[in-house]
Amino acid sequence: MKKIKSILFNFGLLNLMWSGVAVTIATIAFFFYIFRTMPLEKDVTKWGAFGDYISGTAGTWISFITLIMVWITFLSQKRELEEQKNLNARQTIVMERQAFEQTFFSWIGHIKNIHRDSDINALFSDFRTQASESFENLVGYARNHRQDVNYKNQFSTNIASYISGIQDFYKRGQRLGNHRKSWLEQNIQNLETLVAFVDRADKYPATLEEKSIYFNILKAQYTNYERYVLGLEIMEVNNDILFTLTKFRFFDSEERHFIPKLIERRLRGKLTDEFIKEEINLRLGQ
């Protein structure tokens, strides 16, 4: 659209310039036609007036045309300068992108080289067992005590305790050996570095769409269970990183089972009483 406007504007200026040239020539030709039969020696005064008129008319139009040419030259130079600036900006972005991706994929290669710890799946399994057993207790209470006088208050209290105790399920399930602890520490350090590197504000990638591409690449380096364990561990050490990772949907998955959904909501800070109640009602067939 901007290019079209520029073309139309330049076309209008050129038309105006050539119109001025045409009017000047037509004026001279018209008055020359009128005075061409006048004897020069008898009508000196008229010829002088004609000359004055022609010089005034032509001078005015020539000045006007000159101004138009100067303006066209100015616009052309301005456009060339803008195009050069845009070219320089694009070249800078390309160089920044190349430098960024070289460092980013170097870190991705480092992550791939970290030995995968099978105990991480066991850690998640321990967490899932505790969370599932406690959830079954909630379901059992809802099934067997719905007619109690104090049911609603006690049920709400039980759900609140369940939500607040989720992190305790993880802590009790840790039983960290040296190997597992090393895996968590190395990957959290890598995530801290890469999150700060990708989510910087002053250089490429600058937009959320560009940043999302690299967070998706980072996300693909881990299984769902590994990301859940990392998320639960990060909650203990760095909420800023957790916020950034959840913003770019690092912990989201396609799993529809209760425990993965529970963890995803917990990490996003959107785990509510209503969600737990809905899951309990689904279990009870209500």
Flag whether 103 is in a domain.
no
In this structure, of 41-55, 144-158, 215-229, the range with the lowest mean pLDDT score is 41-55
Number of structural domains in the chain: 2
How crowded is residue 248: how many other Cβ atoms within 10 Å of its Cβ? 20
Q: How sure is the predictor about 18, in pLDDT bands with cuts at 50, 70 and 90?
A: low
Most confident of 38-47, 49-58, 120-129: 120-129
Q: Same domain for 204 and 259? A: yes
pLDDT at 218: 93
Flag whether 105 is in a domain.
no
Distance (Å, rounded) from C-alpha 211 to C-alpha 196?
11
98, pLDDT greater than 60: yes
Is residue 229 a contact partner of residue 251, using CB atoms and an 8 Å limit?
A: no
6 or 268, higher pLDDT: 268
29, pLDDT greater than 70: no
Flag whether 166 is in a domain.
yes
Flag whether 267 is in a domain.
yes
pLDDT at 70: 73
Flag whether 107 is in a domain.
no
277, pLDDT greater than 80: yes
Distance (Å, rounded) from C-alpha 47 to C-alpha 70?
34
Q: Same domain for 227 and 125? A: yes
Q: Same domain for 151 and 260? A: yes
When pLDDT is averaged across residues 271-282 and rounded to a whole number, the result is 89
pLDDT at 34: 59
Domain's final residue, options 60, 95, 130: 95
pLDDT at 181: 74
At which residue do the structure tokens 């105006």 appear? 16
Distance (Å, rounded) from C-alpha 74 to C-alpha 70?
6
When pLDDT is averaged across residues 245-265 and rounded to a whole number, the result is 87
pLDDT above 90 covers what percent of the chain?
A: 11
pLDDT at 50: 59
Flag whether 244 is in a domain.
yes
Q: Same domain for 147 and 229? A: yes
Is residue 190 a contact partner of residue 110, using CB atoms and an 8 Å limit?
A: yes
Flag whether 193 is in a domain.
yes
Q: Same domain for 164 and 198? A: yes
Distance (Å, rounded) from C-alpha 29 to C-alpha 284?
101
Q: Same domain for 83 and 177? A: no
Q: Same domain for 48 and 90? A: yes
76, pLDDT greater than 60: yes
pLDDT at 58: 60
Average pLDDT score, the chain: 79
pLDDT at 59: 65
Q: Same domain for 143 and 250? A: yes
Structural domain boundaries enclosing 168: 114-284
Q: Same domain for 16 and 49? A: yes
Q: How sure is the predictor about 175, in pLDDT bands with cuts at 50, 70 and 90?
A: low
Domain's final residue, options 39, 66, 95: 95
Q: How sure is the predictor about 168, in pLDDT bands with cuts at 50, 70 and 90?
A: confident
Distance (Å, rounded) from C-alpha 187 to C-alpha 111?
7
Domain's final residue, options 95, 122, 148: 95
End-to-end CA distance of the chain: 58
Q: Same domain for 77 and 204? A: no
217, pLDDT greater than 90: yes
Q: Same domain for 148 and 258? A: yes
Flag whether 108 is in a domain.
no
Q: Same domain for 150 and 271? A: yes
At which residue do the structure tokens 């504007």 appear? 9
